[in-house]
Amino acid sequence: MNGMETFEALAGNPHIKDYFSRAFAGEKIPHALLLTGEAGSGKTMVARAFAARLQCEHPQGLSACGMCRSCKQMASGNHPDVITVEHEKPRSFGVEDIRGGLVNDMTIRPYASRYKVYLLDLGDLTITPEAQNAMLKTLEEPPSYGVLVIMTRNAEALLDTIRSRCVQLGMQPVPDETVRAMLAGKITTGADEDVIVSLARGNVGRALKLAASEDVAEVIAETLAALKNIRRMRADEMQAFTAGLKEKRDAVPEAFSIARFWYRDCLCLKADENAPIVLEKERRAIAAEAAERPAAELAGVFDAIGEAEARLAGNVTFEVAMEVLLMAMRGRGERTLWQK
Ligand SMILES: [Zn+2]
């Protein structure tokens, strides 16, 4: 059963498994489901595992059998009664998408299954209020075979009238040990597992993405090297670090996260030299910095990281935002080094 999503394979999220166990045991199948959670948190996996179980000809408990015609169709990604709602415009679902791909289509009985399941994955797209209103009646009075699963990162962006008609289930972060277990053998870049686990923040999808990214591995190594040596780096070295980071733009948030771990770890060791820290492998360097710098200064650097992120989100150039941040990291009241 290659390629078929299952509840067994879902990391963490016991409340999700409990909900569906009870729903299937009591044959109380929700006709409208709203799955919320950040990118990589497992919404698509849950939606597809639910669809597979719902359509399976020989299910057991929460499990689809993996053998029947329906399960084979799920595994191949071509199930005639599990339909992905498509959108015409690149960034948004409009009223025509919803009418054609969902509302009108649902009036046609399933092809060969008991149910007809529609997957509406909003991802980072928008959906117009008109499009939402167009599906209200479908949500209110679905045919007995009709099931809609909406996936979104932001339930607040949906109208109350939509939310209130759906069973809402939120994906939760999973424990670090679970992320670690899911990562086994999957870090192909040589990046440090502890750092990847910390950067993933309980999100298995994000962890797997980070684990496979060469850019992320380089950013981790270069950022840790910069943090360790920042107070000895020359202007040209800081410029080279900045230029390297700029080239790997998608991994820049990871660099900021690592810098946050570093200064938070500094503050932890200042309070208690035996405290557990995130960047355990850098304990010596972090302890040395913690011993040398006052807590207020370290807290100031921590704040400067947030300010740099805000500047980057605004109109400030990458080089200027980074210079200000690197100066804060160096301390000693230096203001500028290379942008005079
Ligand atoms: Zn089956």
274-313 pLDDT, tens per residue? Answer: 999 999 999 999 999 999 999 999 999 999 999 999 999 9
Could you tell me the distance, in angstroms and rounded to a whole number, from the CA of residue 50 to the centre of ligand 1? Answer: 12
Given a cut of 90, whether residue 138 has pLDDT beyond it is: yes
* Predicted pLDDT at 338: 55
Could you tell me the distance, in angstroms and rounded to a whole number, from the CA of residue 59 to the centre of ligand 1? Answer: 6
CA angle at residue 165 from 155 to 74, to 5 degrees? 75
Residue 7 pLDDT level (bands cut at 50, 70, 90): very high
All residues with CB under 5 Å from ion ligand 1: 56, 64-65, 68, 71
Could you give the CA distance from residue 156 to residue 116 in angstroms, rounded to a whole number?
27
Could you tell me the distance, in angstroms and rounded to a whole number, from the CA of residue 320 to the centre of ligand 1? Answer: 57
Could you tell me the distance, in angstroms and rounded to a whole number, from the CA of residue 69 to the centre of ligand 1? Answer: 7
Could you tell me the distance, in angstroms and rounded to a whole number, from the CA of residue 72 to the centre of ligand 1? Answer: 7
- Any idea where the domains of the chain sit in the sequence? 14-170, 213-330
Quick: pLDDT tens for 156-191: 999 999 999 999 999 999 999 999 999 999 999 999
Could you tell me the distance, in angstroms and rounded to a whole number, from the CA of residue 142 to the centre of ligand 1? Answer: 24
Could you tell me the distance, in angstroms and rounded to a whole number, from the CA of residue 66 to the centre of ligand 1? Answer: 5
What is the percent of the chain where pLDDT is above 70?
97
Q: Can you spell out the DSSP letters for 196-213?
A: HHHHHTT-HHHHHHHHT-
Return left, alpha or beta for 86; rule: phi > 0 is left, psi -120 to 50 is alpha, else beta: beta
Class of 14-170 in CATH: alpha beta
Quick: pLDDT tens for 109-123: 999 999 999 999 999
In the block, tokens 């092809």 appear at 111
By C-alpha distance, which of 70, 58, 74, 80 is closest to 6? 74
Given a cut of 60, whether residue 329 has pLDDT beyond it is: yes
By C-alpha distance, which of 172, 214, 176, 173 is closest to 195? 176
* Predicted pLDDT at 1: 41
- Average model confidence (pLDDT) across the chain: 94
